[in-house]
Amino acid sequence: MVSDTQHKTGGNSALPPVLRLSSINKRFGAVHANKDVSLEVSAGTVHGIVGENGAGKSTLVSILYAFYTADSGQIYISGQQQQFKSSADAIRAGIGMVHQHFMLVPNFTVLENIVLGHESSGNLASSKIKAAGELATLAKKYGLEVDLDAVVQDLPVGLQQRVEILKALYRGAQILILDEPTGVLTPQETEQLFEILKALRAQGVTILLITHKLKEIMAITDAVSVMRGGEMVAHLATQDTSPRQLAELMVGRPVLLDVGYSPPTPTDICLKADNISLTQSGTTKLDGLSFSLRSGEILGIAGVSGNGQSELLEILSGIRPPSSGTLSINGHEIGADNPAGPSEIKALGVAHVPEDRHAMGLVLPFSAAESAVLGYEDDARLGSAAYFAPEALHSHCAQLMAEFDVRPASPELKSNLFSGGNQQKLVLAREISSAPKILLVGQPTRGVDIGAIEFIHKQLLSLRDKGCAIILVSVELDEILSLSDRVMVMNAGQNMGIIDRADATIQTVGLMMAGVVDSDVEARR
């Protein structure tokens, strides 16, 4: 299944590639996670590996870092075949890994985290002093300044990542693997990370970047390999490819990167928030939010994560009451004095796709059929209120799975065995099937693969066209801008302004997210 676009990367054929994987195979039970995967990476390049969730990227790098051993296949570093028994061997061979979830001890200092496992002697103090000296040199060489005595948990995420990189370099990494490094970073931190990666490349470090974000592949890599269904389907030079081609290779069929937005036909106001505030243990989470929502429109809520969007969703869905202010949903007044719980709000025609599908959207150990009725246990379709007919649960779920293309379409499978995209489709199917008048959606495509993103976006637009009002909360600015009819920007719990789609450029919204209010916008507030 190797595409005809395959060709070797790296121009210099005289030197062996710094890293070569040959016919790697790995099975987990029935799942063939890596099928005959081969890869060549040239020294001093940034090499991207893209693929959807479950394509086998993580398995591949875990084999490279010797977290797993391959069932068959060889690893060559600078032409030398390697036999890794543990991560310690991989580290010795010059491989460093920056995990998606940082491998840092939160209550240790930066220095302690870096020397951990690579102490120069049994005496901790002298090990630290020796390491501090070497780190100063490294930090200067690569532009990785960080306070060695800071406690890791006090550092922002971007700096913690820097510690991870420094740790890998301290252990002598010449090949640095970064697994989804930008997932937790703000746009500015991502920018800084890329500057660091460029500096590393200039110093001869080879970087293997694992990501699902095509934008990043285009921005930073020299070459890119695409994985799909456990196989390598293409090796390309970045300059010869396009996001569209990569997306097609990842999914295996043409992908609409443009969701096909059409102008809305909004009707009556169905939800009105008036001066909503929320104070939680002394801190103001929401500060006088007012806005209204019409049937048949999508109101996107943009903002850097943690600026009150989550709390707003919780108030709108009835999970918690506001401290002050009133909410009017389809004519019903809700406020601090007359709160309404989630079931009452649901009865008003509001459905909620929560931000965290693992914690709030699904019960992971439940079967898909059970997860597919959560919150709708009283639905007449499932039989009497006191007793669920197993067949009714099963057929209800099977129907949702068919409509929303949930794969595998097995209602008895446990919820946690579905991929992120399929879990999200299941939650969305459950909520949309209740025919809501208002749909609250939080981070609909977080951790979701491209194929599923396309599907989910289309579903949201078609729901809007049927007259549903949608509030879309997302930290992915691209998602907000491509789906929303109007955009509300939140900063520190405040409404920074609501702007029409036509005015909502990345620059404008980006500034508002940072708390800068344009006078034009102010006037329209």
Partner 1 sequence: MADLWLQFVLTIDATIRVATPLMLCAMAGLFSERSGIIDISLEGKMLLAAFAAASVAALTGSPWLALAGGILISLLFSLVHGFACITHKGNQVISGLAINILASGLTVTIGIAIFAQGGQTPFLSSDQRFSSITLPFAQAAGSIPIIGTIYKEILSGHNLLVWLAFVAVGLTSLIVFRTSFGLRLRAVGEKPEAVDSAGISVVAMRYQAVMIAGILCGIAGAYLSVAHGAGFVREMTAGKGYIALAAMIFGNWRPLPAMMACLMFGFLDALAARLQGVSLPMIGEVPTDLILVLPYVLTVVLLAGFIGKSTPPLAIGTPYIKER
- We find the least distance from the C-beta atom of residue 105 to partner 1, in angstroms, to be 5
Q: Using the rule CB under 8 A, is 67 a contact of partner 1?
A: yes
Token pair, residue 379, equals 């639905």
The interface region with partner 1, picked from 12-20, 96-104, 294-302, 460-468 by CB under 8 A, is: 96-104
The interface region with partner 1, picked from 119-127, 260-268, 312-320, 337-345 by CB under 8 A, is: 119-127
Lay out the site mask for partner 1 across 11-30 (x = CB under 8 A, - = otherwise).
-----------------x--
Read off φ and ψ for residue 361, nearest 5 degrees.
Answer: -85, -30
Q: Using the rule CB under 8 A, is 170 a contact of partner 1?
A: no
Q: What is the CA radius of gyration of the chain?
A: 25
Which residues 6+ apart lie within 8 Å of 326 measured at CB?
273, 274, 275, 276, 333, 334, 335
Which 268-327 residues touch partner 1, going by CB under 8 A? Answer: none
Q: Using the rule CB under 8 A, is 417 a contact of partner 1?
A: no
Q: Among 108, 261, 376, 388, which residue sits at the site for partner 1 (rule: CB under 8 A)?
A: 108
Q: Using the rule CB under 8 A, is 489 a contact of partner 1?
A: no
CB count in 10 Å sphere of residue 384: 9
Q: What is the DSSP string of 449-508?
A: -HHHHHHHHHHHHHHHHTT-EEEEE-S-HHHHHHH-SEEEEEETTEEEEEEEGGG--HHH
Q: Among 127, 211, 443, 495, which residue sits at the site for partner 1 (rule: CB under 8 A)?
A: 127
In which order are the strands placed within the sheet that holds 438-442? Answer: 350-353, 438-442, 469-473, 298-302, 486-491, 494-500
From residue 338, alpha-carbon distances to 269, 334, 463 in Å are 21, 6, 30
Q: Using the rule CB under 8 A, is 425 a contact of partner 1?
A: no
- Asked whether the beta carbons of 230 and 237 are under 8 A apart, the reply is no
Q: Among 7, 72, 79, 117, which residue sits at the site for partner 1 (rule: CB under 8 A)?
A: 117
DSSP secondary structure code for residue 357 in this structure? I
Burial class (CB in 10 A: 0-12, 13-18, 19+), 442: buried
Read off φ and ψ for residue 119, nearest 5 degrees.
Answer: -70, 145
Q: Among 13, 14, 29, 122, which residue sits at the site for partner 1 (rule: CB under 8 A)?
A: 122
The residue assigned the tokens 């099928």 is: 35
* Residues touching partner 1, count (CB under 8 A): 32
Token pair, residue 226, equals 């695409």
The interface region with partner 1, picked from 71-79, 124-132, 140-148, 410-418 by CB under 8 A, is: 124-132
- We find the least distance from the C-beta atom of residue 421 to partner 1, in angstroms, to be 18
Q: Among residues 8 and 28, whose Cβ is nearest to partner 1?
A: 28
Q: Using the rule CB under 8 A, is 64 a contact of partner 1?
A: no
Read off φ and ψ for residue 299, nearest 5 degrees.
Answer: -100, 115
Q: Among residues 90 and 480, whose Cβ is nearest to partner 1?
A: 90
- Asked whether the beta carbons of 432 and 461 are under 8 A apart, the reply is no
Which 72-91 residues touch partner 1, going by CB under 8 A? Answer: 86-91
- We find the least distance from the C-beta atom of residue 449 to partner 1, in angstroms, to be 17
Element of type H or E holding 217: helix 214-220
Q: CA-to-CA distance for 158 and 139, rounded, in angstroms? A: 16
Which 346-385 residues touch partner 1, going by CB under 8 A? Answer: none
Q: Among residues 90 and 513, whose Cβ is nearest to partner 1?
A: 90
Q: Using the rule CB under 8 A, is 244 a contact of partner 1?
A: no
- We find the least distance from the C-beta atom of residue 251 to partner 1, in angstroms, to be 23
Q: CA-to-CA distance for 205 and 461, rounded, in angstroms? A: 45
Residue type, 410: S
- We find the least distance from the C-beta atom of residue 159 to partner 1, in angstroms, to be 16
- We find the least distance from the C-beta atom of residue 102 to partner 1, in angstroms, to be 8
The residue assigned the tokens 């995990």 is: 99
- We find the least distance from the C-beta atom of residue 60 to partner 1, in angstroms, to be 13
Q: Using the rule CB under 8 A, is 180 a contact of partner 1?
A: no
Q: Using the rule CB under 8 A, is 103 a contact of partner 1?
A: yes
Q: Among 119, 344, 379, 405, which residue sits at the site for partner 1 (rule: CB under 8 A)?
A: 119
**CA nearest to 169, candidates 192, 135, 204, 121:** 135
- We find the least distance from the C-beta atom of residue 126 to partner 1, in angstroms, to be 10
Residue type, 333: E
Q: CA-to-CA distance for 359 and 311, rounded, in angstroms? A: 15
- We find the least distance from the C-beta atom of residue 154 to partner 1, in angstroms, to be 15
From residue 461, alpha-carbon distances to 75, 198, 261, 267 in Å are 47, 39, 7, 16
- We find the least distance from the C-beta atom of residue 280 to partner 1, in angstroms, to be 21
Q: Using the rule CB under 8 A, is 112 a contact of partner 1?
A: yes
Q: Among 1, 2, 15, 124, which residue sits at the site for partner 1 (rule: CB under 8 A)?
A: 124
Q: Using the rule CB under 8 A, is 177 a contact of partner 1?
A: no
Q: Using the rule CB under 8 A, is 104 a contact of partner 1?
A: yes
Q: Using the rule CB under 8 A, is 31 a contact of partner 1?
A: no
Lay out the site mask for partner 1 across 199-238 (x = CB under 8 A, - = otherwise).
----------------------------------------
Q: Among residues 108 and 261, whose Cβ is nearest to partner 1?
A: 108
Which residue ranges make up the site for partner 1 (CB under 8 A)? 28, 65, 67, 86-91, 97, 99, 101, 103-108, 112-113, 115-119, 121-125, 127, 171
